Structure 1
Amino acid sequence: MSEQAKRSGPDRRELIAAGAAGAACLVLPASGKAQTPHPNPMPEELRRIIERNPALPVLGNPDGDVTLTEFFDYNCPFCRSNMTDVQRLIGEDPKLRVVFREWPVFGDGSFFAAKASLASLKQGKYWQLHSALMSMKGRAEEATVMRAARQAGLDIPKLKTDMEKREILDQIYETMDLADTMMLTGTPTFIAGHEAAFGKLGLSDLKKLVAQARKDLL
């Protein structure tokens, strides 16, 4: 059985489904141009699940007025190319809170990378490993991920132990369940406010998504 199939039961999915009841995020094409807004806003319970799990990696302003959440895969080429624009957005918007959700949809190598990335939080080196994995030329597989982890200065024996902890797996499964429940198209998907955007977004498109969220939520 693959790692992805080892779910811990229906409770998490039922909670997410309950939070998502009545939800219909506005999905934008990769151009970032909005379609006709759906009349149903995102329920607050679903937003809390997406944005406020205390185990989530958070960059930018932890007390920011708006949260931008990225669902991504380390083997997704558009996710890699989007990293620079996400960094620039964080640098230019001091009120923005950014959440990363590892959604490994490109196979076992992606799943291994997601586990290592989340486990690196326990050593305070998430951003170092995240940047290294997003910047690599080849695929993220066990060997290349461990090489990147060593280069990022991680304690490898501790990393390997932490990667297999239930809390790490639960975080990945929660993201998978959220993506399934919201019927997300793929990676990268960015969510802010009541809207979501799939595909490679430029800096201006990301700014528009955040600006719309501020308009809707504040």
Structure 2
Amino acid sequence: MTRPLLPALAAVAAFALPANALDLESMTDAERQAFRAEIRAYLLENPEVIMEAVAVLEQRETAAQAESDGEMIQDHAEAIFNDGYSWVGGNPEGDVTLVEFMDYRCGYCRRAAPDVDDLVEFDGNIRFVIKEFPILGEQSMLSSRFAIATLQLEGDEAYKAAHDALITFAGDIDETSLTRIGETLGLDTDAILARMDSPEVTEVIAENHQLAKSLGISGTPSFVMGDQMLRGYVPREGMEEIVAEIRSDS
């Protein structure tokens, strides 16, 4: 037979009362033991309460994280959206800006690439910014240095071609494979390779790493859209929903 819930509810509710309404320190050992037993019995008979509490906690944590992300984005907006050195594609005058922190050797970045490209192409009003963020070893670093050097020497179209080649490249990245990629794309490969270790390229990577640290970004892909931070792979449909939400709020 189910125990009466009123005493248990009263015991649980006591946690929400002011501190002076229930002085746990003044309880005797017997009273404290009975109090704990009542709570335990109630939770065992009503385990859904635990799940409800977990759901509320998760909602609060999500809301707190979103608020924190929004504040960080606002504080670093210029560096995120208009740094002056990152590649900008899509519609430069788009009403929504999508920023991606990516690593060429990241499997989820590779998975996200066609989704992002399709989103930008078919929407037609999204400004797309790529932040080179190599974090997965030497091959990641070589890839990003090659891409950045290409952007600095040969411009936006050459960069996007190199970016697409690197994000889909299946082999190991070294000077030989980079030379082959550059030659296939018709780039001035010798000049690009010579610039890869330059201070100008190193500074871009350092700035992106510092910005990622300030934003609490430690993995790839990570996206910034409006005042939202998206950590990890998000399918195209999910991004479309966020874009629609941003537009409806503007």
Distance 1:183 1:139, change over 3 A: farther
Alignment of 1:101-112 (within 5 A): 101-112=131-142
Q: Residue 74 of structure 1 aligns to a residue in which SS?
A: coil
Encode CA deviations 1:156-202: one digit per residue, 9 max, x unaligned: 11112332332221111111011111111300001111111122221
Deviates more, 1:164-173 or 1:93-102: 164-173
| Separation of aligned partners in 1, 2:179 and 2:107 | 20
- 1:89-119 Cα offsets, whole Å, 9 max, x none, are 1111111100000100011111111011011
Aligned to 1:134, what secondary structure does the other structure show? helix
Q: Which residue of 1 aligns with 2:232?
A: 199
In our comparison, the structure showing a higher alpha carbon Rg is 2
* Unaligned 5+ runs, structure 1: 1-33
Cα separation, 1, equivalents of 2:185 and 2:85: 21
SS in 1 for 2:101: strand
2: CA distance, partners of 1:95 / 1:206 = 14
CA contact (8 A) 1:113 1:142 kept: no
Q: 1:157 to 1:44 in 2, by over 3 A?
A: same
Q: Is the 8 A contact 1:68 1:190 kept in 2?
A: yes
Asked whether the 8 Å contact 1:110–1:141 carries over to 2, the reply is: no
Post-superposition offset of 1:130: 0.5
Provide runs of 4+ in structure 1 moved above 4 Å. none
Aligned alpha-carbon RMSD (Å): 1.9
Cα pair 1:58 1:97 within 8 Å, conserved: yes
Q: How many residues align?
A: 184
Q: Does 1:39 align with 2:72?
A: no
Partner residue of 2:188 out of 155, 160, 179: 155
Q: Which has the higher helix share?
A: 2
1:45 Cα deviation from its structure 2 partner: 4.5
Q: What's the TM-score, normalizing by structure 2?
A: 0.68
Q: With a CA cutoff of 8 Å and minimum separation of 6, indicate the structure with the bigger relative contact order.
A: 1
For residue 167 of structure 1, the aligned residue among 177, 200, 203 is: 200
Between the aligned partners of 1:184 and 1:123, the Cα distance in structure 2 is 29
Partner of 1:123: 154
Contact 1:60/1:96 (8 A) holds in 2: yes
Residue of structure 1 in register with 2:85 after alignment: 55
Contact (CA 8 Å) 1:72, 1:187: kept in 2 or not? yes
- Structure 1's 73 and 208: CA in aligned 2 closer, same or farther, altered over 3 A? same
Alpha-carbon distance between aligned partners in 2 of 1:83 and 1:39, rounded to the nearest angstrom? 28
Percentage of matched positions with identical amino acids: 30
Query: Given the alignment, which residue of 66, 84, 87 partners 2:96?
Result: 66
Counterpart-to-counterpart distance in 2, 1:126 and 1:86: 17
SS of residue paired to 1:200: coil
